[in-house]
Amino acid sequence: MRLTIGVDVGGTKVAAGVVDTTGTVHRTVRQPTPSTEGPDAATEVVCAAIEELLGDPGLGAEVDGIGIGTPGFVDESRSVVTFAPNLPWREEPLRSRVHERFGLPVVVENDANAAAWAEVRFGAAQNASEVVCVTLGTGIGGGLVLGGEPYRGRFGIAAEIGHFQVVPNGRRCGCGKDGCWEQYASGRALVATARSLMDSVPERAVRLREQCGDDSQQLTGQDVMTAAQAGDAIALEAFAVVGAWAGQGIAALTAILDPEYVVLGGGVADGGEIIMDPMRAAFQRHVTGGSFRRLPELRQAQLGSAAGLVGAADLARR
Amino acid sequence: MRLTIGVDVGGTKVAAGVVDTTGTVHRTVRQPTPSTEGPDAATEVVCAAIEELLGDPGLGAEVDGIGIGTPGFVDESRSVVTFAPNLPWREEPLRSRVHERFGLPVVVENDANAAAWAEVRFGAAQNASEVVCVTLGTGIGGGLVLGGEPYRGRFGIAAEIGHFQVVPNGRRCGCGKDGCWEQYASGRALVATARSLMDSVPERAVRLREQCGDDSQQLTGQDVMTAAQAGDAIALEAFAVVGAWAGQGIAALTAILDPEYVVLGGGVADGGEIIMDPMRAAFQRHVTGGSFRRLPELRQAQLGSAAGLVGAADLARR
Amino acid sequence: MRLTIGVDVGGTKVAAGVVDTTGTVHRTVRQPTPSTEGPDAATEVVCAAIEELLGDPGLGAEVDGIGIGTPGFVDESRSVVTFAPNLPWREEPLRSRVHERFGLPVVVENDANAAAWAEVRFGAAQNASEVVCVTLGTGIGGGLVLGGEPYRGRFGIAAEIGHFQVVPNGRRCGCGKDGCWEQYASGRALVATARSLMDSVPERAVRLREQCGDDSQQLTGQDVMTAAQAGDAIALEAFAVVGAWAGQGIAALTAILDPEYVVLGGGVADGGEIIMDPMRAAFQRHVTGGSFRRLPELRQAQLGSAAGLVGAADLARR
Amino acid sequence: MRLTIGVDVGGTKVAAGVVDTTGTVHRTVRQPTPSTEGPDAATEVVCAAIEELLGDPGLGAEVDGIGIGTPGFVDESRSVVTFAPNLPWREEPLRSRVHERFGLPVVVENDANAAAWAEVRFGAAQNASEVVCVTLGTGIGGGLVLGGEPYRGRFGIAAEIGHFQVVPNGRRCGCGKDGCWEQYASGRALVATARSLMDSVPERAVRLREQCGDDSQQLTGQDVMTAAQAGDAIALEAFAVVGAWAGQGIAALTAILDPEYVVLGGGVADGGEIIMDPMRAAFQRHVTGGSFRRLPELRQAQLGSAAGLVGAADLARR
């Protein structure tokens, strides 16, 4: 069986695994990301993880390629990490560094694209050609598969879907602009919405207040999720508000891209029907041409946190 | 020299021409579109135009393919016009009809996609792989070329870029939704904006009022263009407002698609720098990650009203 | 007992009544408004109604003043109707005309102010000094009582509360501007919202579709009310949407005016808790300083369609 | 000549002065506000300032009343400061405290109301009955004079005009709500706008970058003012953007209140025509019924930082 290694570089940890052609992960290693020690240290941690897997007596010898998913911008040749927020890499020639070390073919891919690819190959959107993956985490990440291939754009930075404007003159975004989708439909937006509702109508947020010790500034996304699952009215409403914004943005992406599936991942999507229901309702209301066209199906992601690793490994085969 | 026929079906007229491999049009015929007489009459006009061109003594014999650009939705097999606003076609099997009649290979394509393709092959975005074409006409049409190919989406209806929402709860759109981009950056928006400004501050709209006989209800897009070119303050401001909305929407499309070029066509784009200047300024302000990334170039379309015909003809070769 | 006559001039009918100091109406007459026959005809109908009441054998002799409520702008001396939409009056010296005819003291007041005054004197906001009255009819009308007196503004045209902007670049308003509150929280907005929801998700609008013969273009406000009262999901949602916009606007008015009561009248407010519930919830969420301040009470109007007449009559006593 | 003392309590200093019936200030004292030492210390500083003025050999004996302007909420009896941001007072019985100490009549008034009153008595809006005062400082403060009297609302907290919503789901405000006017038209908004423009198009912000040492995070309102006066394109544009939002909000206030004057004070208004021009233009475009009505005049405040003190002193005479 042909095996490849997939690496998922995150802001806090590097995860790597040996993956077979069915997307099954055979062994995984995890190491903290040394984000403050310069680019070489970060590259070294990636290499150490790969080395450990290659040294596996049963698996290492069969590995014939390496795929690396990384946050940030990857250049159009899939070689160089030009910029990665929360990582020390700037114009880091990651592919050649890793290739020189191990002599195996290496591909470098944006992590959201890698995760999207994994969902298309082995997850929620198998065999589909046009797929939009939306990761509702702290912020919003995006990955596109178009025409059956990962879509990277001309300069390698397509699918910055968290940063198209949904509200003119809206909430300030960390990216420096106003009204980005991420400010309305992400995990951070979920917490901000719950906090604001809780402060406005505290009497209706009983469970939510317990959850955060009655201090809305301490509220976390997990608190909102727990309270919502326990039926807290305000937590549910926060999910409804955020879900409606999510659906509205998906309607925009659908007008532009006409996908077969929109796959929702990330911590907010773990809310399941609590978030999917209002999302689908808003999507249906906002999408143009609704009754005259076929619409994409909105699905929850299936591969969870392994998606980036699995997708990177699979891309190494291509 | 290899020749193909391109047909551009519009709401008011059908234009067809014989096109060579350099995009040069050798002969053109035009006929009014019989929009009220049922699907067969419309198909017949298309066939009559083709027939006339095929009968040309010098050119007809060399034609070896037919491409048809049509408004509305074309199914994913590029055969059937499923729905076309302002035309009588509903599930019209246009490709087989035309093929049966002439025995030549036929492709059917959405007209905006055909025009986008023409700009990539012979116009403002030659040789580019990732291109967004925006037609600022009465409404807004869009065509995408991604990965070097026309991008149609899963169900054949991608690039409905006039109908993604830019203002929540914004102006009602003819599509039944609120706040569509088309309501802010199209020719119709240009006229509405000029009218509203003219009614608010008539004393500053001298030239514009002459242009429409002092009756803002009679104002046309051409009036606004003429007055702007003559330096009318309000007409120029209307272009600035519409240009800013155009730039804002292009920033959203760029965040999602990361194109190399954004090509602007349609009557509003004929304003040249009057519209391109405010559009570029707004684009630069609104695009996410501006200083950390390469940005697409915003260019005026070059092929004018022939783009649809030329693009359809070229697609017939593929 | 001291009696006065109150006249309520509407676009379709003129209502007049004899009112005592407790706000009780002792006799009423109604006549159609001759809106197309010039200003004199309209004034004449007002006079005819007054004449009939004055001729009443038991009541007429005790009448010692006349109050007239009219739509549109009344000048600051409360004498002249400067402009009245849907009526032929332009700079009509209504007070002197009526005074010359009957020799009694006459006051002319904007109809929304008159209705607001009636609610303060005899209705939902008795004895209050600071009251905002909001009439959610086809459009939105407003009347203010501030410092215990009707508030008219410097030029007699205060309380055009239907026409402050709640959505920048929002829906076009009949007044020529964008995003006026009236476009979101009026009866017309209720119908538009229900129609749009019904077209988006027809399967959920069973009762509403019955109500309008499955043709959303035929939908009326009464249909939405009837369907909502019968539990139709989409009709209820339309009320929730419109109620939320109403509450949002009331939060703005509260930040500016700090009233004791906000009184809601008009056809939409007849929905009772169907509209008041979402309105109060949105109000509470949107009002600034909520937990650090006392908030106005939101109440339904009590005097119904007699409010204008009763208020005008009462103002004639002052 | 009859004299009164006016006190203006600010977050950083207490200013007090002896004022005559023409609004002339005869002597002023200033002391830092002891904001962290509890309510008594703050009250004591107010009393010390008054004591010093009363001890003036030439003026003290003629003083027959004391007016105190304070930020925050003053109860409807004008006696108690219920809440004052940046000051230690909570339910502070300021009037009785000061009265007990000096035996003179005392009035307590919100500082923005006091300043508005000063402009009506001696400044930009003399003799007017309906005036809206807008202070464009770090935030936005407001004072209303309606019917010739300071308007305080039912609970003493009217004119929170910085906190009515102008953008649904807009920028988060310190008050906990979204889209407050203050987030768009205040001094803070001016800096945020200039910063964002400077970061987007640094090449056009030459003077502005000099002003802040090329570090947009260090930018101050004074920098933007200085650069604008020196003709910096981006600084001027920031004023234009903020001025347009100011004009838009004033259009809303005009629809509701129909004032004779809108008086603009605060640091942003010190920009003079740089801000007043775009403000007036936007006002004219946004105000409802523009050509069918008389409009308020927009004027710069005249009394500067003395307004609060002078207004409080004058109110002590009433």
Residues of D in contact with C165 (CB under 8 A): 166, 248, 251-252, 286
Q: How far is D195 from chain B (nearest CA, A)?
A: 12
pLDDT of C85 strictly over 80 = no
Closest residue on chain B to C242 (Cα): B169
pLDDT at D86: 78
* Helix B221-229 × helix B187-200 angle, to 10°: 70
Give residue-wise pLDDT tens across range A99-132.
999 999 999 999 999 999 999 999 999 999 999 9
Mean pLDDT of chain A: 93
Nearest to A293 among B157, B177, B259 (CB): B157
Give residue-wise pLDDT tens across range D57-76.
989 899 999 999 998 888 87
Q: Where in chain D is the domain with CATH 3.30.420.40?
A: 3-120+306-315, 129-301
Nearest to C184 among B169, B177, B199 (CB): B169
CB contact under 8 A, C258 and D128: no
**Burial, A170: exposed, middle or buried (Cβ in 10 Å; 0-12, 13-18, 19+)?**
buried
pLDDT at B12: 85
C141: helix, strand or coil: strand
Assign domain B128-301 to a CATH class: alpha beta
Closest residue on chain B to C170 (Cα): B170
CB contact under 8 A, B256 and A160: yes
pLDDT of C78 strictly over 90 = no
CB contact under 8 A, B199 and C178: no
A136: helix, strand or coil: strand
When pLDDT is averaged across residues C134-149 and rounded to a whole number, the result is 94
CB contact under 8 A, A284 and C169: no
pLDDT at D226: 96
Q: Which CATH number fits domain D3-120+306-315: 2.40.50.140, 3.30.420.40, 3.40.50.2300, 3.40.190.80?
A: 3.30.420.40
Query: What is the rounded distance in angstroms from the CA atom of residue C36 to the CA atom of residue C34?
Result: 6
Residues of B in contact with D283 (CB under 8 A): none
pLDDT of A28 strictly over 70 = yes
DSSP state of B3: E
Q: Among D173, D178, D199, pick the best mutation site for testing chain A contact (most A Cβ within 10 A).
A: D178
pLDDT at C201: 86
Task: Give the number of beta-carbon pairs within 8 Å between C and D.
Answer: 142
Strands A81-83 and A73-74, sheet pairing: antiparallel
Note whether D282 and D243 are within 8 A (CB). yes
Tokens standing for C95? 């007070």
Mean pLDDT of chain D: 93
Q: How far is D201 from chain B (nearest CA, A)?
A: 7
pLDDT at A85: 75
Strands A297-300 and A261-265, sheet pairing: parallel
Residues of chain D with pLDDT under 50: none
When pLDDT is averaged across residues C241-263 and rounded to a whole number, the result is 97
Give residue-wise pLDDT tens across range B146-185.
999 999 999 988 999 999 999 999 999 988 899 999 999 9
Residues of A in contact with B130 (CB under 8 A): 153-154, 158
Query: What is the rounded distance in angstroms from the CA atom of residue B184 to the CA atom of residue B190?
Result: 8
pLDDT of C142 strictly over 80 = yes
pLDDT at B296: 97
Mean pLDDT of chain C: 93
Nearest to B165 among A83, A129, A286 (CB): A286
Q: Where in chain A is the domain with CATH 3.30.420.40?
A: 3-120+306-315, 128-301
Mean pLDDT of chain B: 93
Note whether B43 and B83 are within 8 A (CB). no
pLDDT at D35: 65
Pure H helices in chain B:
38-54, 94-102, 111-122, 182-185, 187-200, 206-211, 221-229, 233-257, 273-286, 307-315
pLDDT at D38: 85
C-alpha distances in Å from residue B153, one per residue of A263, B112, D7:
16, 14, 69
pLDDT of A197 strictly over 70 = yes
Output D55 or C87, whichever has higher pLDDT.
Answer: D55
Please check whether the domain covering D129-301 is classified as CATH 3.30.70.20.
Answer: no
Tokens standing for C254? 């509260």
The closest of D290, D302, D222, D313 to D264, measured between CA atoms, is D302
CB contact under 8 A, A169 and D184: yes
CB contact under 8 A, B199 and C192: no
CB contact under 8 A, D160 and C258: yes
pLDDT at D1: 59
pLDDT at B208: 92
Task: Return the percentage of chain B with pLDDT > 70, whole number.
Answer: 99
For A73-82, B11-20, C5-14, C31-40, which range has the lowest pLDDT when averaged over its residues? Answer: C31-40
CB contact under 8 A, C153 and D257: yes
Task: Give the number of beta-carbon pairs within 8 Å between A and C.
Answer: 23
When pLDDT is averaged across residues A256-269 and rounded to a whole number, the result is 96
Nearest to A177 among B149, B176, B286 (CB): B286
The closest of D260, D21, D31 to C157, measured between CA atoms, is D260
When pLDDT is averaged across residues C76-100 and rounded to a whole number, the result is 89
Q: Among B166, B197, B199, B200, pick the best mutation site for testing chain D contact (most D Cβ within 10 A).
A: B200
pLDDT at A150: 94
pLDDT at A201: 86
pLDDT of A86 strictly over 90 = no
Nearest to C290 among A168, A200, A291 (CB): A200
Residues of A in contact with D163 (CB under 8 A): none
Q: How far is D170 from chain A (nearest CA, A)?
A: 4
Closest residue on chain A to D195 (Cα): A176
CB contact under 8 A, A290 and C196: no
pLDDT of A316 strictly over 80 = yes
**Burial, D100: exposed, middle or buried (Cβ in 10 Å; 0-12, 13-18, 19+)?**
exposed
Beta-sheet strand order (sheet of B90-92): B73-74, B81-83, B90-92
Closest residue on chain B to C181 (Cα): B169
pLDDT band of residue A39 (cuts 50, 70, 90) is confident
